[in-house]
Each structure stands twice: as C-alpha cells, then as structure tokens.
C-alpha cells in the first residue's frame, strides 16, 4: 500500500467543509510536524473550541501537548 505524504493528508483534511474534533486533532498533529505556523494556531483554536463543546478537554490537551513538544523539535 502506498503511503500518502503528510502534506497531502493535511490538505485533504483541511478541505473538509465541516471538520469534527477528530479531524482537527489529525490536522493539528500533521501541522505540528511543520513547526509553529498560523495554520497550526488556527487548528489548535478550532480543536480547543470543539473540545469545549464536547467536554473533551483531556483529548485536546494531549494533542496540544504533543504539538508543543513536536514544534520545539522542528
């Protein structure tokens, strides 16, 4: 099975017209690999707001912590 490069996966996810929290988590993780950028900040803002709506703050916190650690390495 051929692997899809992460930037293409991110583009597909960002094309979603109504992304749910799971999509925002995936977007944040993929964008974290590129380091801090405005699109990553936007994805994290959406993730935080969706998490508050669903009371899924622990899950969002894990993704945000991963993003912070990953961005520091890039």
Q: What is the pLDDT of residues 54-64, one digit of tens each?
A: 665 566 677 77
Rounded mean pLDDT, 25-35: 84
**C-alpha 34, offset from chain centre:** 11
- For 59, half-sphere exposure in the C-beta direction (CA atoms, 13 angstrom radius) is 16
Q: Indicate if the pLDDT at residue 1 is higher than 50.
A: no
H/E element, 28: helix 21-32
Is residue 62 within 8 Å of residue 44, measured between CB atoms?
Answer: no
Compare 28 and 2 and report the one with higher pLDDT. Answer: 28
């Amino acid at each position: 099975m051929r692997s899809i490069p992460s930037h293409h996966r991110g583009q597909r996810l960002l094309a979603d017209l109504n992304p749910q929290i799971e999509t925002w988590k995936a977007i944040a993780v993929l964008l974290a690999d590129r380091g801090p950028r405005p699109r990553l900040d936007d994805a994290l803002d959406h993730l935080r707001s969706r998490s508050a709506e669903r009371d899924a703050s622990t899950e969002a916190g894990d993704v945000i912590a991963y993003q912070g650690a990953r961005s520091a390495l890039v």
